[in-house]
Amino acid sequence: MLRYALKRIIGAVPTLLLVIAIAFLMVHAAPGGPFDAARALPPDIEENIQRAYHLDESLPQQFARYLGGLVRGDFGPSFRFRDYTVAELIGLALPLSMWLGAMAMLIAIAVGVCAGLFAALNRNTFVDRLVTGFAMIGISVPVFVIAPTMVLVFAVLLDWLPVSWTDGDGANRLVMPVIALALPQIAYIARLTRASMINVMNSDFIRTATAQGLSTMSIVRFHAIKPATLPLLSYMGPAIAAVLTGSVVVEQVFGIPGVGQLFITGATNRDYTLVLGITVFYAALVIVLNLIVDLLYGFLDPRIRHR
């Protein structure tokens, strides 16, 4: 198992390098620069600033320097946030995004799995159609529609919840962001769980267990639930990474100072190192979570063993 994990980590290095290279080129290809607002400075001062941040070097030199910093665990200084490194900015924004994402993901797993199981065990009934219909709506309606609609209904019209993060305090300002993050994940998890459970319940070993006189709940609990969660695991890796690092749309709509809003700020200000640092962090998180998912497969499915 350890050998398999090490091979996967080593194999992920080229993927991570490709992500860094593409992000580096895209950021530098965008028009403008991090110091465009300071164009009124004298040319010699501007030249000194460019030299201080190594922006006067060629792109290959800047890329090699950036990779050298990453090897040492240095994401570099922020170009726009004075006296802050990229690692410090991510460290300040990440706890809030992870807290919101963790709550949203727990709600999504609990509600989505229960709804999917209930729909699968009551296939082709009104309950099944109701769950499937709500899941389709949750998948079809994007977050940038759900979040503003929630603000309009629950904050503006009903005045139950604060409009933004700064307008409220305590748990009430968490309600809408968490629900907006959780709703799409509930829809996906419910549909995956339903489809997987229906497939498992039609398997030969389930028919054998039914023929032996076991109750439906015993079959689901002891025989069906583990193989039914395998397709769900494949989805959970990137989904958890996306939710834990915060949704750009949700954080922008509700004014949450998380990683998503920090990424938008960095992209708007052409803060090269900040955008690259968040991209590298997200890519590494996806790789680690996918590795964890692959390892869990071996524990949940006895047919899979990592040699």
Which tens digits make up the pLDDT trace of 123-148? 888 888 998 898 888 888 888 888 88
Q: According to the CATH classification, is domain 90-300 in 3.30.70.600?
A: no
Confidence category of residue 285, pLDDT binned at 50, 70, 90 = confident
Confidence category of residue 43, pLDDT binned at 50, 70, 90 = low
Confidence category of residue 110, pLDDT binned at 50, 70, 90 = very high
pLDDT number for residue 307? 52
- What is the end-to-end Cα distance of the chain in Å, rounded? 6
Residues in Cβ contact with 97 at an 8 Å cutoff, skipping those fewer than 6 apart: 244, 245, 246, 251, 256, 258, 259, 260
- Tens of pLDDT, residues 2-34: 776 777 778 778 888 888 888 888 887 777 666
Q: Over pLDDT 90: what percentage of the chain?
A: 6
| Maximum alpha-carbon separation in the chain | 87
- Tens of pLDDT, residues 190-217: 999 998 888 888 888 888 878 887 777 8
Q: Over pLDDT 70: what percentage of the chain?
A: 87
Query: Over 90: is that where the pLDDT of 289 sits?
Result: no
What is the pLDDT averaged over residues 84-92? Answer: 89
Q: Write down the pTM of the prediction.
A: 0.80
Mean pLDDT of all residues in the chain?
A: 82
Q: What is the 3-state secondary structure (H, E, C) of the chain?
A: CHHHHHHHHHHHHHHHHHHHHHHHHHHHHCCCCCCHHHCCCCHHHHHHHHHHCCCCCCHHHHHHHHHHHHHCCCCCECCCCCCCEHHHHHHHHHHHHHHHHHHHHHHHHHHHHHHHHHHHHCCCCHHHHHHHHHHHHHHHCCHHHHHHHHHHHHHHHCCCCCCCHHHCCHHHHCHHHHHHHHHHHHHHHHHHHHHHHHHHHCCHHHHHHHHCCCCHHHHHHHHHHHHHCHHHHHHHHHHHHHHHCCCHHHHHHHCCCCHHHHHHHHHHCCCHHHHHHHHHHHHHHHHHHHHHHHHHHHHHCCCCCCC
Single out the residue of 120, 304, 119, 113 nearest to residue 203, CA to CA.
Answer: 120
pLDDT number for residue 9? 76
pLDDT number for residue 232? 83
The domain segmentation of the chain, as residue ranges, is: 90-300
Residues in Cβ contact with 39 at an 8 Å cutoff, skipping those fewer than 6 apart: 46
- Tens of pLDDT, residues 274-284: 888 888 888 88
Single out the residue of 25, 82, 81, 53 nearest to residue 266, CA to CA.
Answer: 81
| Long-range Cβ pairs for the range 230-233 (8 Å, 24+) | 230/196, 230/297, 230/300, 230/301, 231/192, 231/195, 231/196, 232/113, 232/189, 232/192, 232/193, 232/196, 233/293, 233/296, 233/297, 233/300
